[in-house]
Amino acid sequence: MSVKSEKLKQVKKAVALRYEQEKDAVPRVVASGQGSMAERIISVARENNVEVHEDPDLIELLSKLDVDEYIPEKLFFAVAEVMAYVYRINNRLDDAKAKFGIHRMLKR
């Protein structure tokens, strides 16, 4: 493999999805990019405490969608798995915050 093809293979990609149950029938793409734009998408997500999940195969498919495009039916299951994972992580964090309380940590 040449150096050029190796660099192309390593270009970071990111897609941000939004799903608002009251407004959206399915998740939709709200941001998409590669290289420095992908880094910015990931940075903004982390700054806003949004869980970042890496899945190279899924990102290849999602990165072909346009911003504001709803995910196609063929990707429902894969996206649902990721969203369920994120939901579980968020609930665990919420449970831990409720159980241990931020205010307890600040008093120490």
pLDDT, tens digit, 9 for 90 and up, residues 7-33: 555 789 999 999 888 898 889 999 999
Q: What pLDDT, on the 0 to 100 scale, is given for residue 88?
A: 80
Q: Which residues, at least 6 apart from 52, have a Cβ–Cβ distance to it below 8 Å?
A: 42, 45, 46
Cα-based angle 43, 38, 87 (whole degrees, multiple of 5): 60
* Banded pLDDT at 99 (limits 50, 70, 90): low
Output Rg (C-alpha) for the chain, integer angstroms.
17
Q: What is the mean pLDDT of residues 59-67?
A: 95
User: What's the CATH code of the domain at 74?
Assistant: 3.40.1690.10
Query: How many domains is the chain built from?
Result: 1
Does residue 94 or residue 35 have the better pLDDT? 35
pTM reported for the whole predicted model? 0.71
Q: Which domain holds residue 18?
A: 3-107
